[in-house]
Amino acid sequence: MMSFFYRVIFCIILLGPVTLFGQTDDSQTKGKWGEIHGSVQFDAQYYNPDSAIGAPPVPEEFLMNGYADLIYTKGKFTAGLRYEGYYNVLQGFDTRYDGQGIPYRFATFDADFLNITVGGFYEQFGSGMILRAYEERGLGFDTFIEGARVKSHILGGIYLKALVGKQRFFFEHGEGLVRAFDAEISLNETFKALAEKKTRLTLGGSFVSKYQKDADSDLELPENVGAWAARFNLLYGGFNLSGEYVSRGQDPQASNELILDNGDIRPNYNMGDALLLTGSYSQKGLGIVVSAKRTDNMNFRSDRTATLFDLNINFLPALTNQHTYLLAASLYPYATQPNGEWAIQADVSYKVPRKSKLGGKYGMALSANYSRIHGLNQMIDENGTGYRTEFFELGQLYFQDINFEVNKKLNQNHKLTLKYINLFFDIEVVQGLTGSKPVKANIIIAEMTHKLASKHAIRWELQGLFTKQHFKDWAAVVVEYTWSPHFFLAFIGQYNYSNPNPTQRIFYPTVQVGYIKDATRVTLQYGRQRAGIFCVGGVCRNVPASNGVALSISTSF
């Protein structure tokens, strides 16, 4: 009975605008009936067995992920849904994506000062360290909240958001209930006297609480866990200083358990907190960013039994350079350690002006990036219910990246990029490979784009990764031919030529061909592939490891 009622209400919400606004005769008016837009994406792969590269066997041989998004808009009203089908889910994705359904559906009404959404929604408060519901399809992450959300800016410069709901968990919902509130005030917009001031200040604050029943008969677990955050953003000319502090209450959970010296595993009753500070300065031709982050026990999930990537309410950004060149991106990329880390990063980019001595006719772009991440020294309390840390004390070194890049247009038809990366990567901590020594690697990359004719170009990349640890040295080559605006053909080869195990000195070749028309894209690929972010034919996306034939089709309208 209830579900019938629900269905009728939903239909009225969805069809209401059509019947309400559909009474006029002027059927020629553009968009009178509203507009429907959407996108469709299929990623399919036929898998060849390949035990040499450690590709897991695929009994189905053929796997496919499919997505279709539809959004209907009529004036201030928007409604949408997403169909997802996994027949079965592609390798590298979570196998709990099983079958098909319409997990995401929503309706939004936007009256100038009030924006109301029922159904699924994505949201981010501040830097996301307290709350971020987001989709990263290439990785198979989707943590939208299904429930209700109200956003409002009643007064100039004051923005309020309130929401309640449960998080998506594959084709179901997480057990915990999420309640959240966020307020932001832009002082220069709110107070007329400050409107023309050169200094601009924005302040914000959030409160997020989750509820989950304590089903454990032995332990007293907090059923309501609250977290608060305060943030600021200060601007003065080219200077920008911003920061956010987050604190979470006691929340013993599967992903922050304490392991005592005698091997006992105990619930962790520590509070959690995180601090992020960023300062930047920029003017035409120069940009400098320095940031620091300290996180301690900041796992925040809507289910205390969840682990890995499941049901995260918040998002802890990794303060490292996001590399996209094959070897740098996919072999040793850093992942945030939510249980505790200290991170700093500095980034400088400079454009040497045109017609200068160093810049030549076309100028030259230089950039440098430094990041370093340490763990925290956590001293477990005598009673084994928590641990102590010193705020400024650095623990073990997890990661360091020093890199330089030069971009130069040599002449009308040639563009050159050179990059050097020096890495320190604690593979034991970041990838969980117990007993492995930290990897110290040097990476050298050269990329050249050669314009053959006005719409024909060849781009090649040569890359080398040199290390004495783990799989030792790698070489990679990319050759890509593009015929604008419709075709591309690419060859990618990677070779682990000095692997300590001679049978693992493997060559990974891949051939890709693609056709693009407006917002439609078809790609066919054959070969062996490693995991990572791959950029070919002008697009970047995350691809899992495999051997076989892959077909991707995507379009939006």
147-176 residues in contact with other proteins (CB under 8 A) are 151, 153, 159
DSSP string covering 208-267 = EEEE-----SSS---SEEEEEEEEEEEEETTEEEEEEEEEE-----GGG-EE-TTS-EE-
Q: Binding to other proteins by residue 236, rule CB under 8 A?
A: no
**For residue 220, which phi and psi values (nearest 5 degrees)?**
-95, 105
**Least distance (Å) from other proteins to the CB of residue 38?**
6
**Least distance (Å) from other proteins to the CB of residue 22?**
8
What is the total residue count of the chain?
Answer: 557
| DSSP for residue 15 | H
Q: Say if residue 275 is exposed, middle or buried (CB neighbours under 10 Å; 0-12, 13-18, 19+).
A: middle
> Cα separation of 400 and 438, whole Å?
11
Between 112 and 261, name the residue whose CB sits nearer to other proteins: 112
322, 411, 442, 504: which one binds other proteins (CB under 8 A): 322
113, 191, 483, 497: which one binds other proteins (CB under 8 A): 483
Between 99 and 500, name the residue whose CB sits nearer to other proteins: 99
At 5 the three-state DSSP class reads helix
Q: What residues numbered 294-313 form the site for other proteins, per CB under 8 A?
A: none
Write the interaction track for other proteins spanning residues 536-555; mark x where CB under 8 A is met and - where it is not: -xxxxx------------x-
318, 364, 376, 439: which one binds other proteins (CB under 8 A): 318
> Cα separation of 323 and 465, whole Å?
14
3, 217, 501, 503: which one binds other proteins (CB under 8 A): 3
> Cα separation of 320 and 323, whole Å?
9
Q: Say if residue 253 is exposed, middle or buried (CB neighbours under 10 Å; 0-12, 13-18, 19+).
A: buried
Between 244 and 296, name the residue whose CB sits nearer to other proteins: 244
**Least distance (Å) from other proteins to the CB of residue 329?**
9
Q: What residues numbered 33-52 form the site for other proteins, per CB under 8 A?
A: 33-39, 41
Total site size for other proteins, rule CB under 8 A: 109
**Least distance (Å) from other proteins to the CB of residue 347?**
6
> Cα separation of 515 and 524, whole Å?
9
User: What residue has token string 């020294």?
Assistant: 377
361, 414, 456, 468: which one binds other proteins (CB under 8 A): 456
50, 94, 135, 428: which one binds other proteins (CB under 8 A): 135
C-alpha pair distances (Å), 58 with each of 55, 268, 314, 326: 9, 39, 34, 25
The amino acid present at 86, given as its one-letter code, is: Y
> Cα separation of 330 and 21, whole Å?
52
**Least distance (Å) from other proteins to the CB of residue 469?**
26
Between 186 and 255, name the residue whose CB sits nearer to other proteins: 186
> Cα separation of 434 and 506, whole Å?
24
Between 50 and 110, name the residue whose CB sits nearer to other proteins: 110
5, 23, 24, 31: which one binds other proteins (CB under 8 A): 31
Q: What residues numbered 409-448 form the site for other proteins, per CB under 8 A?
A: none
208, 319, 545, 550: which one binds other proteins (CB under 8 A): 319
73, 88, 377, 499: which one binds other proteins (CB under 8 A): 73
Between 226 and 317, name the residue whose CB sits nearer to other proteins: 317
Between 58 and 430, name the residue whose CB sits nearer to other proteins: 430
Q: What residues numbered 75-114 form the site for other proteins, per CB under 8 A?
A: 78, 81, 83, 101-102, 105, 110
Q: What residues numbered 5-24 form the site for other proteins, per CB under 8 A?
A: 6-7, 10-11, 14-15, 18, 22
Q: CA angle 221-222-225, nearest 5°? A: 145
Write the interaction track for other proteins spanning residues 193-232; mark x where CB under 8 A is met and - where it is not: -------x-x------------------------------
Which stretch of DSSP H or E encloses residue 524?
strand 520-529
User: What residue has token string 């050159």?
Assistant: 416
The amino acid present at 14, given as its one-letter code, is: L
Q: Binding to other proteins by residue 324, rule CB under 8 A?
A: yes
Which stretch of DSSP H or E encloses residue 497?
none
**Least distance (Å) from other proteins to the CB of residue 471?**
25
| DSSP for residue 137 | G
Q: What residues numbered 371-410 form the site for other proteins, per CB under 8 A?
A: none
Task: Give the distance, in angstroms, between the CA of residue 500 and the centroid of all CA atoms in the same chain.
Answer: 33
Write the interaction track for other proteins spanning residues 494-533; mark x where CB under 8 A is met and - where it is not: ----------------------x-xxxx------------
Q: Binding to other proteins by residue 182, rule CB under 8 A?
A: no
Q: Binding to other proteins by residue 535, rule CB under 8 A?
A: yes
Q: CA angle 296-297-302, nearest 5°? A: 140
> Cα separation of 26 and 22, whole Å?
9
**Least distance (Å) from other proteins to the CB of residue 205?**
15
Q: Are 534 and 324 in contact (CB under 8 A)?
A: no
**Least distance (Å) from other proteins to the CB of residue 185?**
11
Q: Are 330 and 324 in contact (CB under 8 A)?
A: no
86, 97, 132, 176: which one binds other proteins (CB under 8 A): 132
Between 64 and 254, name the residue whose CB sits nearer to other proteins: 64
**For residue 162, which phi and psi values (nearest 5 degrees)?**
-140, 140
Between 221 and 313, name the residue whose CB sits nearer to other proteins: 313
Residue 327's closest CA among 428, 501, 475, 479? Answer: 475
Q: Binding to other proteins by residue 451, rule CB under 8 A?
A: yes
Q: What residues numbered 249-288 form the site for other proteins, per CB under 8 A?
A: 278, 280-288
> Cα separation of 306 and 174, whole Å?
9
Residue 313's closest CA among 176, 184, 148? Answer: 176
Between 87 and 134, name the residue whose CB sits nearer to other proteins: 134
